[in-house]
Amino acid sequence: RFLLFLCFFKVILGAHSLSKNEASKQIFEIEKFIPFSRIISYRKSNDIMLIKLHTAATLNKHVQLLHPSSKNDIRAGTKCQVTGWGATDPHLLRNSDTLHEVTVTVINRKLCNSPSYYNHNPIITEDMICAGDARGQKDSCQGDSGGPLVCKGAFYALVSAGHKCGEAKKPGIYTLITQKYWAWIKSKLAPSHANHDRK
């Protein structure tokens, strides 16, 4: 199924503006998509995928690796930064040309599942977290999906879902990169798996 879409996508690294011809940009063809699960779930669980580039990226001051968290969860109340080229106006839902960053606060999972928030629709599981703003003014939005949530300098989660954008009691929903996902990522990066893929 994913093979049909490979030619429609490219990966761009080192960009600040999507439209400007920046010397820092590295553009790559995609060799393959590697989803965690081939089952599409309405529960928003397991919303994570790896993308294998056709050629290797060059690490420099514009393209760097995120440092993963060594913890399996993040405490409610923690301030984190989310970045992306997603919409900045919840009414227009038009992607931004320039990269934006906003600080959001991690929300207690029990509160996020409560009737006044998401009311278990979707269920915020142990592999997910909510993060936003008490006044609803700071949030990830459409077009930010897959972007990183960084807390205290460590990579904790990926933008996954939400209800509209910037609503006080409908914060962004994130896929928490738990040990389950790290084990899966490492298995896909293992040399034995890479050799098998080339056959």
Tell me whether residue 73 is in a domain.
no
In this structure, the answer to whether residues 30 and 122 fall within a common structural domain is no
Query: What pLDDT does residue 38 have?
Result: 67
Domain span holding position 164: 79-179
Task: Reply yes or no on whether the pLDDT at 178 is more than 90.
Answer: yes
Report the range of poorest mean pLDDT among 33-37, 76-80, 89-93, 100-104. 89-93
**Closest listed residue to residue 40, CA positions, set 136, 161, 135, 156:** 161
Residues 175, 192, single domain; the answer is no
Q: How many domains does the chain have?
A: 2
What is the per-residue pLDDT for 93? 84
Q: Is residue 138 part of a domain?
A: yes
pLDDT surpassing 60 at residue 165: yes
Please tell me whether residues 85 and 17 are part of one structural domain: no
Statement to judge: residues 185 and 175 lie in one domain: no
Q: pTM higher than 0.85 for the full model?
A: yes
Answer whether residue 17 shows pLDDT above 60.
Answer: yes
Q: Kindly state the tokens that stand for 18.
A: 């999507």
Domain at 44, CATH number: 2.40.10.10
Which sign does the torsion angle of CA 184, 185, 191, 197 carry? positive
Asked if the model's pLDDT at residue 169 lies above 90, the reply is yes
Would you say 116 and 171 are in contact if contact means Cβ atoms under 8 Å apart? no
Q: What is the mean pLDDT of the chain?
A: 90
The better pLDDT of the pair 197, 183 is held by 183
Residue 91 lies in a domain: yes
Residue 6 exposed, middle or buried by CB count within 10 Å (0-12, 13-18, 19+):
middle
Give per-residue pLDDT as tens, 123-151: 999 999 999 998 988 999 999 999 999 99
Please give, one letter per residue, the 3-state secondary structure of 132-160: ECCCCCCCCCCCCCCCEEEECCEEEEEEE
Give start and end residues of each alpha helix (H) in 12-108: none
Query: Within this chain, do residues 124 and 186 fall inside the same structural domain, yes or no?
Result: no
Categorize the per-residue pLDDT at 199 as very low, low, confident or very high, splitting at 50, 70 and 90.
very low
Q: What is the pLDDT of residues 48-92, one digit of tens each?
A: 999 999 999 999 999 999 999 988 899 999 999 999 999 998 888
Task: Return the pLDDT at 198.
Answer: 44
